[in-house]
């Protein structure tokens, strides 16, 4: 069991990171930490993908030195996916951050639980 | 290759480009552009539907002519065309109905942002309907989330902002799970396109290996999409989100957005996963029972709710439960019923949200259902719209809700093990629906105790939207057979 | 065509009345038009029933169509409904003078009779369900009419009980629609044992759910709670038709399910029949006891309805021809009698403002003729020969004894007898106290208000008189009704 995990150390680590990120995003009341959690979660997936695409002893999939043989390069698809994924996660993060700023300006707190209470009180008056 | 076959791709790209163009033009122009884009894409979806209906088979559209393992594919059949058409129609009427309120609710100078979000929403919904590639699906899921979040937070209420952040958090969780699920699937199969992935999955199923990883993949993807569409235990972001957004956004979010994810889930379940995995893994059973729990709990929450908007939103939780129950039956009929209910609920819930706005305004902005007392005399058309919507949700014959209930009940007979629970759940949840909807309708028609200020007459576009939605409901209720047949044919050419 | 007119003419007229605001000030035209439409409706229904025939309205799905077909059972109910509706309508033109929102009342009153004829003419279960739901919704404004807190509460209670009942029934309809294909009514049932093979357990459950569900409208235990609340709060003519006719819509729905779709053979001897008999007997007994203890006149009549309609349901639950004949004839007799009673209550309320039973002492000095009509109707309901109630109860008892249902064949008649005694106990004191108030009666109020000898106006008195005399005459000459009921019974068994 343990040897299996050690053999696939990247996957193991990425799953652990995913778990950490997921729980932080779900449970942590602080908005900034939530965003950090989300980024950890996304990064874990990229690590996983990159690890899957890597083939030991091969080159990055950028054509250089005129080597045409596909077997010289690692699998390029996961790298492409990672790049796309990063773009997506950057935009999501930006949106979350802008929302957080709005909420902070309005309620002076980053604690989501507290903000929700304040929102409720605001609604009553 | 026929020219019509380009239309799915065109409609996605038109919607996306109108969003881009909107960022540099004034709000009014952005609005017109957005309406035009929705109208054009809707016509295109209709053309795709007509084309595939005539040829009798679905077709795969290779982006950039790269063949299967590498390229990116769009796939269109009768079902995709129908769903895209329906989404377009509901979206157009919703945007049209909320025009004035949008201008009132959105900060001046930011109007074009709102319509950018609408355009992005449209393009992502169409992409979710048409795409045949898992990673493209993920990207558009995220775009959809961002657009949805934008639509909610454009209204600068405290409640809208907090709803937006909650929506964003839950959606990110869902997308994260979906992403890890498809990464794992890619890891196991080496495919991202749905058809080659299905072949690989079938081989894996035949060789009896990777049993647990496949189960995990299925579970993670299902849960991820279930969170995003608001299935019962993951529903707590729904009420605020739907209730406090601007009317157009409420109608679109409740009527369409969650349905886009559900359609994607159906697609993955039937186009990627093999029947063996579905049956052995109990995934369908889990969805089924969560669906039934949602039907009950959504209605119970709605009964406890006083705020009309939140009541309608909780009713959405119940209706999403219906759809998952249909999927969970795991039969052709069940899926047909679920897809029909996607249409029926889309048309009905948008009608409810749009007409509820007219009622609030006629009651001096109050949203409490007791304060809506007598609103039926102050704003007759909105009240009629609301009544029709409520009757349809309750399952009054000749309206769309009745047909979906009938389809659910009929499909339950294909799965004897789930026959009794389905029928009982339908009966109980219908009664619960009746409790809170009819309570509200009666309140509308009770004579007013005191004179209430407020707008007596809505703008023409809101009234037109209410009339259109009522007609849509009647069409779905009275002419259901062609639609059901089309869904059936679409499902046959689905995988 | 005529049957379509019979359904849609009153609906259109009602909508028109509701839409025309100008009618408000023009009472004479309003009541004249109202009476004319009701008369035309009665004539149309009778014509349509004589013609018979069928018509398909709409194909909802491949197997489900909406349509009308007139058979003897539906025709019987439709004629009964429209005639009683006309009489109560004439009464209401006088009664509603003293009420507010006349126009709204007339409008919905007209719509409901159209919906009810649609229900009676329905060719299949789905159509019937459509009209059944519409009946609930359109009759709701009649209950809500007063708009007092009590009325609104009663209206909501009415609505929720009805809706819950209807959806219990819908559960059954969904089930039957799948195993039977289409749900066209046919005497004796369309279900064959092969259709339900392997699903007998659920089938019985579904049938039971439908009986209880549709039984809600007929005030059957356990979903009877709305009836005593909703009937009395409506204006008296509305109470009359709610109690006398709309409860019968529940009865015809149960008849259609049991005798025209499922077939009596399927549930004979099963737990469904046993539970059904227990429930109806319980309702008969309980309704009578509650009526006996009730002091408010209209509520007493409403509890009496709970009890009497369950006589009918008990007759149906025996699944035996003679009992069936008794049940059908009791439907007619009870409609006539109970309408007479409620219209009497309306006349008393308008004339004196009295609502409680103990206030009615000395009523004989005020309206002796009306009280005489009441007495006739009361005697008929108790079942004293030769008045009509006797005939139906005789058949019910005979049917019970011949039904071979073990303990129920004896328990049934016993409960009916006890209930008849209770009926006498709660109806006759009004007569006795009315004519013979006793030595200690203080007649000052009657003199002070100058009420003595003030019979209600003809528009009220004549319908009461017709109904009261009918309740006697139908008992003396029950031949045609019994023959019709027997003819129906022969087709369904």
pLDDT tens-digit series, residues B323-355: 999 988 888 888 899 999 999 999 999 999 888
Question: Given its phi and psi angles, is residue B210 left (phi above 0), alpha (psi -120 to 50 degrees) or beta?
Answer: left
Long-range contacts of C290-297 (CB under 8 A, 24+ apart): C290/C228, C291/C422, C291/C423, C291/C426, C292/C422, C292/C425, C292/C426, C294/C228, C294/C426, C295/C356, C295/C357, C295/C358, C296/C232, C296/C355, C296/C356, C296/C357, C297/C345, C297/C348, C297/C354, C297/C355, C297/C356, C297/C357, C297/C360, C297/C430
With beta carbons less than 8 A apart as the criterion, state whether C357 and C296 touch. yes
- Nearest CB partner across the interface for B146, out of A21, A38, A95: A95
The pLDDT value recorded for residue C328 is 92
Q: What is the ipTM of this complex?
A: 0.92
Of residues C159, C198, C166, C153, the one with CA closest to residue C179: C198
Taking each helix axis from N to C terminus, what angle separates C149-180 and C125-144, rounded to the nearest 10 degrees? 180
Q: What does the buried/exposed string (b/e) look like for C387-403 if buried means 16 or more CB atoms within 10 Å of the residue's CB?
A: bbbbbbbbbbbbbbbeb
Categorize the per-residue pLDDT at B451 as very low, low, confident or very high, splitting at 50, 70 and 90.
Answer: low
Q: How far is A65 from chain B (nearest CA, A)?
A: 24
Closest CA to C2 of C36, C37, C50: C50
The pLDDT tens digits for B119-164 are 999 999 999 999 988 888 999 999 999 999 888 888 877 888 888 8
Contact exists between A and C (3 or more beta carbon pairs < 8 Å): no
A103 contact residues in B (CB cutoff 8 A):
161-162, 165
Domain containing B408 equals 282-495
Kindly report, residue by residue over C155-170, the tens digit of the pLDDT.
Answer: 888 888 888 888 888 8
- Asked if B186 is an interface residue toward chain A (Cβ–Cβ < 8 A), one would say yes
Q: Are strands B59-63 and B72-76 parallel, antiparallel or unpaired?
A: antiparallel
Strongest mean pLDDT among A114-123, B362-371, B440-449: A114-123
Question: Which region holds residue B62: left if phi is over 0, alpha if psi is between -120 and 50, else beta?
Answer: beta
Cα angle for residues C473, C474, C480 (degrees, 5° grid): 130
Residue C24 pLDDT class (50, 70, 90 cuts) = low
* Burial class for A7, CB neighbours closer than 10 Å (0-12, 13-18, 19+): exposed
pLDDT tens figures, B281-296: 678 888 899 999 999 9
Answer yes or no: is B454 within a domain. Answer: yes
pLDDT digits (tens, 9 = 90+) for C284-329: 999 999 998 888 888 899 999 999 999 999 999 988 889 999 999 9
Q: Give B140's contacts (C-beta < 8 A, 6+ positions apart).
A: B123, B124, B127, B128, B131
- Residue B390 domain flag: yes
Which residues from C are below 8 Å from B when comparing CB atoms? 58-62, 64, 126, 129-130, 133, 140, 144, 147, 152, 155-156, 159-160, 163-164, 167-168, 170-171, 174-175, 177-179, 198-199, 202, 206, 209
Q: Provide, as residue numbers in chain B, all residues whose Cβ is less than 8 Å from the Cβ of A26.
A: 169, 173
Residues of chain A neighbouring B173 (CB-CB closer than 8 A): 22, 25-26
Asked if residues C211 and C276 have their Cβ atoms less than 8 Å apart, the reply is yes
pLDDT of amino acid B449: 66
Highest mean pLDDT among C145-159, C434-448, C462-476: C462-476
In a domain, B328, yes or no: yes
pLDDT value at residue B455: 55
Question: Would the CB atoms of C59 and B439 count as touching at under 8 Å?
Answer: no
| Strands annotated E in C194-346 | none
With beta carbons under 8 A apart, name residues in chain A contacting B172: 25, 38, 41, 92, 96
Residue C23's pLDDT band (boundaries 50, 70, 90)? low
B75: enclosing H helix or E strand: strand B72-76
Share of chain C above pLDDT 90, in %: 20
**What is the DSSP secondary-structure string of C27-91?**
HHHHHHHHHHHHHHHHHHHHHHHHH--EEEEEE-SSS-EEEEE--HHHHHHHHHHHHHHHHHHHH
CB-based contact B479:B385 (threshold 8 Å): no
Interface probe with A: pick from B134, B160, B179, B244, most Cβ of A within 10 Å: B179
Q: Which of C81, C87, C117 is nearest to C4 (CA)?
A: C117
Whether C151 contacts C100, CB under 8 Å: no
pLDDT greater than 90 at residue B38: yes
B216 domain-assigned: no
Task: Report how far residue C465's alpha carbon sits from residue C340's, in angstroms, rounded to the nearest whole number.
Answer: 8
pLDDT value, residue B207: 83
**What's the Cα-to-Cα distance from C327 to each of C185, C248, C266, rounded to whole Å?**
20, 11, 20
Contact check, Cβ <8 Å, B159/A115: no
* Residues C93-130: tens digit of each pLDDT: 888 888 877 888 888 999 999 999 999 999 888 889 88
pLDDT single digits (tens) C384-425: 888 888 888 889 989 888 887 778 888 888 988 899 999 999
Instruction: Please compute Rg for chain C using Cα positions.
Output: 22
Domain assignment of residue B195, yes or no? no
Compute the 3-state secondary structure of chain C and give helix, strand, coil in percent, each to the nearest 5.
Answer: 80, 5, 20
Q: Could B410 and C59 be called an inter-chain contact, meaning their C-beta atoms sit closer than 8 Å?
A: no
- Of B331, B369, B406, B414, which to mutate for an interface test with C (greatest number of C Cβ within 10 Å)? B406
Distance, in angstroms, between C343 CA and closest chain B CA? 27
The confidence band for B450, taking pLDDT boundaries of 50, 70 and 90, is low
C17 contact partners, CB below 8 Å, separation of at least 6: C23, C30, C33, C34, C103, C106, C107, C110
Position C5 scores a pLDDT of 86
Torsion over CA: C467, C471, C473, C478 (sign): positive
Instruction: Enter the tokens of residue C15.
Output: 């909508």
More confident of the two residues C3 and C276: C276
Which residues are paired to B60 by β-bridges?
A: B75
* pLDDT tens digits for range B240-250: 888 888 888 88
The stretch B290-314 carries a mean pLDDT of: 90
Report CA Rg, chain A.
Answer: 20
Share of chain B above pLDDT 70, in %: 96
- Domains of chain A, earliest start first: 2-56+73-124 (1.10.287.3510)
Query: Which tens digit of pLDDT belongs to each residue from C134-192?
Result: 898 888 888 888 878 888 888 888 888 888 888 888 888 888 888 887 788 888 888 88
CB contact under 8 A, C156 and B442: yes
Residues of B within 8 A of C125 (CB-CB) are none
Estimate to the nearest angstrom the gap between the alpha carbon of A78 and the chain centroid.
Answer: 15
Q: What are phi and psi of B74, to 5 degrees?
A: -115, 145
Partner residue facing B427 (CB), from C60, C156, C167: C167
Q: Which of B408, B196, B134, B419 is nearest to B295 (CA)?
A: B408
Chain C partners within 8 Å of B423 (Cβ): 171, 174-175, 202, 206
Task: Identify the residue among B299, B374, B412, B431 best suited for mutation to test binding to C, counting C beta carbons within 10 A and taking the highest.
Answer: B431
State the CB neighbour count (10 A cutoff) for residue B187: 18
Residue C98: the pLDDT is: 81
Q: Which residues contact C155 (CB under 8 A, 6 or more apart)?
A: B442, C140, C143, C144, C230, C233
Confidence (pLDDT) at B456: 59
- Residues C361, C451: contact at Cβ < 8 Å? no
pLDDT band at C232 (very low <50, low <70, confident <90, very high): confident
Contact between B488 and B332 under an 8 Å Cβ cutoff? The reply is: yes
Q: State percent of chain B over pLDDT 90.
A: 28
Mean pLDDT of chain B: 86
B partners (3+ CB pairs within 8 A) are A, C
Closest CA to B114 of B123, B103, B125: B103
Residue B481 lies in a domain: yes
For an interface test with C, give the residue of B344, B417, B427 to mutate (most C CBs within 10 A). Answer: B427
**pLDDT at position B281:** 62
- pLDDT-derived band at B177, boundaries 50, 70, 90: very high
Query: Length of chain B in residues, anyone?
Result: 495
Segment A46-81, tens digit of pLDDT: 999 888 888 888 888 777 777 777 778 888 888 888
In a domain, B251, yes or no: no
Are B176 and A22 in contact (CB < 8 Å)?
yes
- The helix (run of H) or strand (run of E) holding residue B216 is helix B211-229
Inter-residue contact C218 to C251 (CB < 8 Å): yes
Please count the structural domains in chain B. Answer: 1
Q: What's the rounded Cα separation, in Å, for the pair B313 and B242? A: 6
Determine, for residues C174 and B405 on separate chains, whether the beta-carbon distance falls below 8 Å: yes
Helices B211-229 and B194-207, axial angle in degrees (round to 10): 140
pLDDT in tens, A83-125: 999 999 999 999 999 989 988 988 888 888 888 888 888 765 4
Q: By C-alpha distance, which of C398, C253, C261, C252 is closest to C332? A: C252
Q: How far apart are CA C268 and CA C320, in angstroms?
A: 10
Is the pLDDT at A37 greater than 90, yes or no?
yes
Cα separation of B375 and B381, whole Å? 10
Angle between the N-to-C axes of helices B158-189 and A76-107, in degrees from 0 to 180, rounded to the nearest 10: 170
Give the tens place of pLDDT for each residue, C86-103.
999 998 888 888 887 788
**Among B260-264, C198-202, C282-286, which stretch is predicted with the lowest mean pLDDT?**
C198-202
* pLDDT value at residue C231: 83
Domain parsing of chain C, residue ranges: 1-174+224-245, 269-493
Paired tokens of B10: 């065109």
Q: Are C386 and C475 in contact (CB under 8 A)?
A: yes
C356 phi, psi to nearest 5 deg: -95, 150
Under DSSP, the state recorded for C256 is: I
- For residue B396, the chain C residues in CB contact (below 8 A) are 133
User: What integer is the mean pLDDT of C55-75?
Assistant: 83
Residue of A nearest to B154 (CA): A99
- Rounded Cα distance between C35 and B321, Å, is 50
Chains that touch C (3 or more CB pairs under 8 A): B
Cβ atoms < 10 Å from Cβ of A120: 12
Return the pLDDT at B292. 92
């Amino acid at each position: 069991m343990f040897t299996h995990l050690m053999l696939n150390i990247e996957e193991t680590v990425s799953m652990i990171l995913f778990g950490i990120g997921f729980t932080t995003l779900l449970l942590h009341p602080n908005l900034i930490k939530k965003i950090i959690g989300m980024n950890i979660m996304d990064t874990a997936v990229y690590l996983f993908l990159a690890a899957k695409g890597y083939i030991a002893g091969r080159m990055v999939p950028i054509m250089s030195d005129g080597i045409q043989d596909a077997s010289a390069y690692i699998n390029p698809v996961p790298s492409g996916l990672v790049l796309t994924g990063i773009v997506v996660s950057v935009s999501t993060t930006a949106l979350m951050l802008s929302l957080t700023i709005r909420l902070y300006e309005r309620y002076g707190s980053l604690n989501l639980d507290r903000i929700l209470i304040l929102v409720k009180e605001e609604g009553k008056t | 290759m026929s020219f019509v076959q380009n239309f799915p791709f065109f409609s996605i790209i038109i919607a996306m480009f109108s969003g881009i163009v909107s960022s540099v033009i004034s709000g009014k122009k952005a609005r017109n552009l957005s309406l035009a884009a929705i109208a054009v894409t809707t016509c295109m979806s209709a053309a795709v539907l007509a084309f595939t209906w005539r040829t009798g088979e679905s077709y795969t559209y290779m982006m950039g002519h790269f063949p299967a393992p590498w390229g990116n594919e769009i796939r269109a059949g009768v079902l995709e065309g129908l769903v895209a058409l329906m989404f377009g129609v509901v979206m157009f009427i919703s945007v049209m109905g909320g025009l004035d309120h949008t201008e009132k609710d959105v900060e001046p100078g930011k109007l074009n942002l709102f319509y950018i979000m609408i355009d992005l929403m449209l393009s992502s919904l169409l992409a979710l309907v048409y795409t045949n590639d898992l990673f493209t699906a993920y990207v558009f899921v995220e775009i959809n989330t961002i657009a949805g979040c934008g639509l909610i937070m454009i209204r600068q209420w405290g409640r809208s902002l907090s709803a937006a952040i909650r929506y964003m958090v839950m959606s990110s969780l869902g997308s994260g799970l979906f992403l890890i699920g498809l990464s794992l699937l890619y890891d196991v199969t080496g495919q991202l396109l749905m058809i080659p992935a299905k072949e690989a999955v079938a081989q894996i199923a035949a060789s009896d290996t990777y049993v647990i990883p496949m189960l995990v993949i299925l579970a993670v993807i299902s849960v991820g999409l279930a969170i995003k569409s608001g299935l019962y235990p993951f529903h707590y972001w729904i009420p605020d989100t739907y209730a406090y957004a601007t009317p157009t956004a409420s109608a679109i979010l409740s009527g369409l957005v969650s349905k886009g994810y559900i359609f994607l889930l159906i697609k993955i379940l039937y186009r990627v996963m093999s029947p063996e995995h579905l049956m052995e893994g109990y995934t369908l059973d889990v969805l089924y029972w969560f669906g039934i729990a949602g039907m009950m709990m959504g209605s119970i929450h709605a009964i406890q709710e006083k705020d009309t908007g939140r009541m309608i939103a909780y009713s959405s939780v119940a209706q999403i439960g219906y759809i998952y129950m249909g999927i969970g039956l795991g039969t052709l009929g069940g899926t047909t019923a679920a897809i029909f209910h996607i249409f029926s609920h889309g048309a009905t819930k948008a009608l409810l949200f749009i007409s509820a706005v007219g009622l609030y305004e006629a009651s001096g902005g109050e949203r409490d259902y007791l304060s809506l007392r007598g609103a039926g005399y102050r704003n007759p058309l909105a009240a009629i719209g609301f009544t029709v919507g409520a009757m349809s949700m309750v399952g009054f014959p000749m309206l769309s809700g009745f047909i979906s209930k009938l389809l659910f009940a009929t499909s339950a007979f294909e799965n004897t093990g789930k026959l009794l629970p389905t029928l009982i759940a339908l009966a109980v949840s219908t009664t619960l629906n009746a409790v809170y909807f009819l309570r509200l309708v009666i309140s509308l028609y009770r004579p007013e105790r005191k004179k209430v200020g407020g707008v007596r007459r809505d703008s023409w576009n809101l009234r037109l939207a209410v009339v259109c939605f009522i007609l849509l409901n009647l069409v779905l209720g009275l002419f259901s057979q062609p639609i059901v047949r089309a869904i059936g044919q679409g499902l046959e050419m689905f995988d | 065509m005529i049957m379509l007119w019979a359904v849609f003419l009153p609906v259109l007229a009602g909508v028109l009345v509701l839409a025309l605001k100008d009618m408000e000030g023009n009472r004479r035209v309003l009541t004249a038009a109202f009476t004319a439409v009701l008369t035309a409706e009665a004539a149309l229904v009778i014509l349509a029933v004589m013609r018979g025939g069928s018509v398909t309205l709409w194909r909802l799905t491949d197997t489900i169509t909406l349509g009308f077909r007139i058979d003897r059972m539906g025709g019987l109910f439709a004629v009964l409904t429209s005639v009683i509706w006309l009489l109560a309508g004439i009464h209401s033109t006088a009664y509603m003078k003293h009420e507010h929102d006349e126009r709204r009342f007339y409008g919905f009153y007209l719509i409901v009779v159209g919906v009810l004829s649609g229900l009676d003419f329905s060719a299949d279960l789905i159509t019937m369900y459509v009209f059944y739901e519409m009946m609930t919704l359109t009759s709701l404004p009649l209950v809500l009419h007063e708009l007092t807190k009590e009325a609104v509460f009663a209206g909501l209670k009415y609505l929720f009980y009805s809706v819950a009942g209807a959806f219990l029934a819908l559960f059954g309809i969904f089930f039957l629609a799948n195993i039977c294909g289409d749900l066209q009514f046919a005497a004796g049932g369309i279900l064959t044992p092969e259709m339900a093979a392997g699903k007998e357990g659920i089938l019985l459950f579904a049938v039971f759910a439908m009986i209880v569900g549709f039984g809600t409208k007929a005030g059957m235990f356990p979903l009877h709670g709305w009836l005593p609340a909703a009937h009395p709060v409506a204006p008296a003519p509305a109470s009359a038709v709610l109690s006398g006719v709309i409860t019968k819509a529940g009865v015809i729905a149960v008849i259609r399910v049991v005798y025209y779709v499922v077939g009596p053979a399927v549930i004979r001897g099963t737990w469904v029949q046993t539970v059904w008999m227990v429930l109806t007997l319980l309702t008969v007994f309980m309704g009578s006891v509650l009526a006996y203890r009730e002091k408010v006149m209209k509520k007493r009549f409403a509890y009496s309805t709970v009890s009497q309609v369950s006589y009918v349901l008990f007759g149906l639950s025996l699944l035996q021809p003679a009992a069936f004949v008794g049940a059908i004839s009791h439907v007619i007799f009870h409609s006539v009698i109970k309408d007479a009673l409620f219209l009497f209550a309306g006349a008393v309320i308008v004339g004196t403002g009295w609502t409680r039973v103990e206030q009615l002492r000395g009523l004989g000095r005020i309206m002796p003729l009306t009280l005489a009509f009441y007495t006739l109707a009361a005697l008929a309901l108790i079942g004293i020969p030769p008045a009509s109630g006797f005939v139906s109860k005789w058949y019910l008892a005979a049917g019970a004894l011949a039904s071979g249902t073990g303990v129920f064949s004896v328990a049934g008649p016993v409960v009916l007898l006890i209930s008849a005694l209770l009926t006498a106990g709660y109806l006759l004191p009004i007569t006795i106290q009315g004519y013979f108030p006793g030595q200690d009666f203080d007649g000052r109020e009657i003199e002070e208000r100058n009420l003595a000898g003030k019979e209600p106006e003809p528009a009220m008195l004549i319908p009461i008189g017709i109904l009261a005399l009918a309740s006697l005459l139908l008992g003396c000459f029950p031949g045609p009704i019994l023959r019709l009921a027997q003819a129906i019974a022969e087709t369904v068994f």
